[in-house]
Amino acid sequence: MNDMSHQVPTVATLHFEGASVVHRGQVLLRPLTLSLSDERCTLVMGPNGAGKSLLLRLAHGLLTPSAGRVHWQGGAPRQAMVFQRPVLLKRSALDNLTYALAVNGTPWQSRKNLARKALEHFGLAHLEKRPARVLSGGEQQRLALARAWLLDPEVLFLDEPTAALDPASIRAVEEAVRDFHRRGTRIVMTTHDLHQARRLADDVVLLHEGSLVEHSAAATFFTTPSSPTARAFIEGELVW
């Protein structure tokens, strides 16, 4: 997605400064120093248990580091997060969106109209009355993206949003991610899928066993990774 990175407005830089996560004496994320700047699409990669979700939770402020700090230079931007298993309310698809707008302070007169537009944008218009929790995995993921879309985030965090989806749904989610990016939203997304990372990433963060292994431009990462661990990961030899 490099071609788009010069067309979008500047977003604040996110700094991790020696940020670590320790739980009951166990180090889950070793002190991490990393800056995410520019209007990029950053893919956070690594085997199971590497610490990708922890990094994302720290970034979005859902988790406080045990030591060090995570902060936005230039003030925290408007941000949203989409999880692998979307958290949806026991309401219709439409009501999930109007509720998010209400929480966001959108005047009630315009909520339904905006929510319907978002449903349409994500190909869900025909499902507006269906309870959100009975939607298929792919539909739920699109509804979560529609909800994020309505909040017009400057930064969007996605935690393995395509992990349990079929190829068509994966394509739909990736297209939505590109759409967000075109609109100027900075993307930070975790994935296991090397092909997906090649399709989407401007830069790649590789974690392994709770440590940062590499942060480089996607072209560099995939062609000339600087560490043996990154090479092994790209070759599919780093299972965990």
Ligand X SMILES: Nc1ncnc2c1ncn2[C@@H]1O[C@H](COP(=O)(O)OP(=O)(O)OP(=O)(O)O)[C@@H](O)[C@H]1O
How do beta strands 186-190 and 41-45 pair?
Answer: parallel
| Spatial distance between the Cα atoms of 220 and 55, rounded to a whole number of angstroms | 22
Return the HEC string of 209-223: CCEEEEEEEHHHHHH
In the complex, least distance from residue 33 CB atom to ligand X, rounded to whole angstroms = 17
Among the listed residues 7, 23, 152, 228, the single contact to ligand X using CB under 6 A: 23
Cα 8 to Cα 123: distance, rounded to the nearest angstrom: 25
Least distance from ligand X to the Cβ atom of residue 16, Å:
14
The reply on whether position 28 binds ligand X by CB under 6 A is: yes
- Does the protein bind ligand X through residue 211 (CB under 6 A)? no
86 binds ligand X (CB under 6 A): no
Nearest approach, Cβ of residue 54 and ligand X (Å): 4
Asked if residue 212 binds ligand X (CB under 6 A), the reply is: no
Is residue 46 involved in binding ligand X (CB under 6 A)?
yes
User: To which residue do tokens 């599919």 refer?
Assistant: 236
With respect to ligand X, which residue has the nearer C-beta, 160 or 202?
160
Q: Which of 9, 25, 48, 109 binds ligand X (CB under 6 A)?
A: 48
Residue 49 or 68 with smaller CB distance to ligand X: 49
Pick the binder of ligand X from 31, 51, 65, 161 (CB under 6 A). Answer: 51
- Please report whether residue 53 would count as binding ligand X according to CB under 6 A: yes
Query: 3 or 237: whose CB is closer to ligand X?
Result: 237
Task: Between 1 and 63, name the residue whose CB sits nearer to ligand X.
Answer: 63
Pair of tokens at residue 211: 């440590």
Residue 138 CB partners (closer than 8 Å, separation 6+): 165, 166, 168, 169, 172, 173
Cα gap 94→119, rounded to integer Å: 8
Q: Is 85 in the site for ligand X (CB under 6 A)?
A: no
Q: What is the 3-state secondary structure (H, E, C) of 144-193?
A: HHHHHHHCCCCEEEEECCCCCCCHHHHHHHHHHHHHHHHCCCEEEEECCC
| Residue 223 touches ligand X, criterion: CB under 6 A | no
In the block, tokens 């298993």 appear at 85
Contact footprint for ligand X (CB under 6 A): 23, 28, 46, 48-54
